[in-house]
């Protein structure tokens, strides 16, 4: 019986303390930090912020982008996904080496397909890759 009374008193004191802290902080104004406009633009999820601006591409950049895509399609893209390296080297447990598949590489390629608005290629790659990763 005595233990029950102590428990009730302790519970009441705990609730009283929490209530006092809550009421004390209720009237306080919390100062918020204003985010710089440049940083806010980086943090956005608006697709137009991340979409490539084709009108700023020089012929050299366009050619290099096409060469990179060609290399990825011919040398790195497999039935199972995208390999980490072109050359197959000795395997290491700590690092991805050789022809291993990483979800990070797959997600970068999916991002490229999404921005290039190639829905069919996106869906095909996602279905194939998802079955191997999961």
The residues near 65 (Cβ < 8 Å, ≥ 6 apart) are: 57
**Digit-coded pLDDT (tens) for 55-64:** 667 889 889 9
Other Cβ atoms closer than 10 A to 81: 22
For the chain, how many structural domains are there in total? 1
The residues near 86 (Cβ < 8 Å, ≥ 6 apart) are: 75, 76
pLDDT at 99 over 70: no
The model's confidence at residue 120, banded by pLDDT at 50, 70 and 90, is very high
CA dist list (Å): 17 to 5, 22, 123: 18, 9, 56
Surface-to-core class of residue 95, CB atoms within 10 Å of its CB (0-12 exposed, 13-18 middle, 19+ buried): exposed
**14 vs 134 pLDDT, higher one:** 14
Note down the domain range covering 66.
2-133
CB 107 within 8 A of CB 125: no
């Amino acid at each position: 019986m005595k233990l029950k009374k102590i428990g009730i008193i302790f519970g009441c004191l705990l609730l009283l303390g929490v209530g006092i802290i809550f009421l004390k902080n209720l009237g306080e104004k919390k100062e918020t930090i204003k985010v710089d406009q440049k940083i806010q633009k980086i943090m956005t999820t608006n697709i137009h912020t991340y979409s490539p601006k084709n009108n700023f591409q020089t012929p050299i950049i366009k050619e290099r982008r096409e060469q990179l895509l060609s290399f990825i399609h011919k040398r790195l893209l497999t039935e199972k996904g995208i390999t980490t390296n072109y050359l197959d080297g000795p395997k290491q447990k700590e690092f991805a080496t050789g022809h291993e598949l990483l979800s990070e590489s797959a997600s970068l390629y999916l991002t490229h397909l999404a921005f290039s608005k190639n829905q069919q290629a996106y869906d095909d790659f996602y279905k194939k890759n998802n079955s191997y990763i999961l």
